[in-house]
């Protein structure tokens, strides 16, 4: 399975679209934004070397839910969405987009949410261990040894 940050974001977007069909999910703000909607932003992430060709990647995301401004009971509706996101994003079901592979669970950590300027910010971190591909270095040329053997 191929692991990439873009596919992690796509997997989260797929989960949001399944839970809330008809609510668009964007990667960045656009002029043609339809409300309500989700935005998924990549936050600062880290990659650290582990042992035996394994990297640890900590991917941090900010899932932002935006609805029309100045709605009655808007804050209560945002808290309800936050509660549903907390249940949904306990595990991100990662898929690399190919049909012949099944989804694998990526357990999330450090999930927090807040309401800022009538927008819900749901932040999470996905720690994952990624195996680096083993690249076999084959011999390209061979030097000739001109060593005389005394006998």
Over its C-alpha atoms, the chain yields an Rg (Å, rounded) of: 23
Provide the whole-model pTM: 0.80
The answer to the question of residue 53 being in a domain is yes
- pLDDT for 94 equals 92
| Overall average pLDDT of the 132-151 stretch | 65
More confident residue, 54 or 143: 54
66-75, 77-86, 104-113, 136-145: the lowest-pLDDT one: 136-145
33/132 Cα distance (integer angstroms): 38
Query: Which residue would you say has higher pLDDT here, 111 or 95?
Result: 111
Q: What is the residue-averaged pLDDT of the chain?
A: 86
**Rounded average pLDDT over 124-137:** 76
The model's pLDDT over 43-93, given as tens digits with 9 standing for 90+, comes to: 988 777 767 777 788 899 999 999 998 888 999 999 999 999 999 999 999
In a domain, 140, yes or no: no
Tokens 């083993």 found at: 134
pLDDT at position 123: 97
The CATH code of the domain that includes 32 is 3.30.2000.10
Domain count, the chain: 1
Residue 17 covered by a domain: yes
- Residue 89: both structure tokens together: 């994003």
Domain span at residue 84 reads 5-131
CA distance 131 to 101: 17
Is residue 147 domain-resident? Answer: no
């Amino acid at each position: 399975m191929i692991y990439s940050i873009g596919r992690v974001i796509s997997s989260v977007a797929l989960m949001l679209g399944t839970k809330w069909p008809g609510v668009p999910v964007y990667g960045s703000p656009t002029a043609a934004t339809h409300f309500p909607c989700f935005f998924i932003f990549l936050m600062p992430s880290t990659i650290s070397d582990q042992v035996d060709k394994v990297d640890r990647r900590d991917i941090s995301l900010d899932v932002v839910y935006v609805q029309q401004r100045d709605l009655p009971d808007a804050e209560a509706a945002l808290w309800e969405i936050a509660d549903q996101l907390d249940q949904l994003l306990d595990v991100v079901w990662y898929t690399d987009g190919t049909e012949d592979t099944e989804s694998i669970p990526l357990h999330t950590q450090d999930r927090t949410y807040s309401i800022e300027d009538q927008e819900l910010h749901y932040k999470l971190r996905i720690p994952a261990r990624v195996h680096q591909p083993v690249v076999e270095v084959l011999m390209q040329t061979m030097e000739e040894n001109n060593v005389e053997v005394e006998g």
